[in-house]
Amino acid sequence: MRVKALELDLREKKSLTKTCKQHILSDFPSLEDLAHDKFGEVGFCIFYLDDKVLFGRYDGTSFLFYKKYLPKPKHIQKMRLFNQNKELLLWRKRWNGHSGNFAFRLRVDEEGDNTDVIDAMQLLWGTKANSLDENFTELSEKRGMKIIIPLKGIEVDDGEKRLFILTRNYINYKTDDSASHESETDSCLKTSATPGDEMSKTDDSKTDDFSYMQASYFDSRFVSFTDKDGKLLGW
């Protein structure tokens, strides 16, 4: 996936996070229990497996994938379950035989404290669309890349008609040199005047130690599939 260059549009939004550094999963039903307990709303999901990337839907209780495929937790490197208001991010720390040690972060917008955010559009691979059934479409390119997405009626080409994922990037400010990433994120989601670089600016106030404000993306989440004009799709 590639990031679409956008003019920076910094704005404030209420947002809060809840994190868990250790959660044991043994099978897929245990993952569905976690999703229902922490997320519990309709949304889309992306699973980053050891051998592929898997897109699906979530109905508030169960996941739906093409041909009812269910990934094994031991192969899950990371999962994003998201809608317009929240995202549950899960990542594998270690797999121990019959169960695994995972961590997760739940981010909920419109709650909590104000934070600065920047939205960006991440370009998905695919210049040709082929409808598979009433819920899924295959996107492909001449070079052989293919992904199956949980949308219907999608039209793409090798020009401007493409499919994107809207991402939201949350900004952290610190008064020293050490702006750090505080959670697991996808490196390809970061975007700035130079994608992936940090932004810094001088603190106008005079202080004894001449500290300055350092800004960095400390969290990113998926929001929705969109078209090139930013229209949200699938809701």
pLDDT for the residue numbered 144: 85
Element (H, E) at 225: strand 213-226
226: which residues sit within 8 A by CB, 6+ positions away? 121, 163, 164, 165, 166, 232, 233
Amino acid at 191: T
The model carries a pTM of 0.80
Report whether 147 contacts 138 (CB < 8 A).
yes
Separation of alpha carbons 232 and 222, rounded Å = 12
Sequential DSSP letters for 187-217: GGG--SSSTT--EEE---S--TT---EEEEE
Q: Tens digit of pLDDT for each residue in 48-76? A: 999 999 999 999 999 999 999 999 999 99
Q: What is the mean pLDDT of residues 125-151?
A: 94
List the domain boundaries for the chain: 14-115
Whether the per-residue pLDDT at 113 is higher than 80: the answer is yes
pLDDT for the residue numbered 3: 47
Whether the per-residue pLDDT at 83 is higher than 50: the answer is yes
Report whether 75 contacts 49 (CB < 8 A).
yes
Identify the band that residue 143 occupies on the pLDDT scale cut at 50, 70 and 90.
Answer: confident
In this structure, is the dihedral angle defined by the CA atoms of residues 144, 148, 149 and 155, taken in order, positive or negative? positive
